[in-house]
Amino acid sequence: MAKYGSWISIKKMSIREGTKPQEIVMHLASIRQNIDRKAFELLGIDVKSLDELAATYTGGKRKSYSALAEVLDNFGKEDAKASIEKACKGKEELKNIANIYLFRSVVKTLGFDFDVNPEILQKAYPELKIPKPPGRQKKA
């Protein structure tokens, strides 16, 4: 369990002798997915604006390495630099970290992935279910 401000993260899993490796990897991938996004948010980076910029750059493009290269050419342009600076809210030390987030967002928006994530695992192992957050609990 982790708590920071209003953010609480609880991830539990029972691992027994018969637990399959892909089940453990699914759990770990779920933890990583939550941590990755939250880390950028906790640093104060406006991830929503960077996701919108990534969507603008990738709009109408298909999954291909040439499209990825074309989109990455935009990173050096003034509008990208200004958007990254704005997403950092004036904190110079966050620019490189915001660039990392934008890069990850562009890659994912184009349909590539470089992390093991629950969606990829579920395609490989259809019997695995992506854990859903618990809903409201009935009062006794």
In tens, the pLDDT along 51-100 reads 999 999 999 899 899 999 999 998 888 989 999 999 999 899 999 999 99
The rounded distance, in Å, linking the Cα atoms of 117 and 2 is 21
Number of domains into which the chain is organized: 1
Q: What is the per-residue pLDDT across 2-44, written as a single tens digit (0 to 9) for each?
A: 677 777 777 777 788 888 999 888 888 888 888 887 889 999 9
- Tell me if 72 is assigned to some domain: yes
Residue 28 within any structural domain of the chain? yes
Q: Which domain holds residue 42?
A: 20-124
pTM here is: 0.77
73 falls within a domain: yes
- Whether 102 is covered by a domain: the verdict is yes
Q: Is residue 104 part of a domain?
A: yes
Alpha-carbon separation of residue 92 from 1, 86, 96, 97 (angstroms): 32, 10, 9, 10
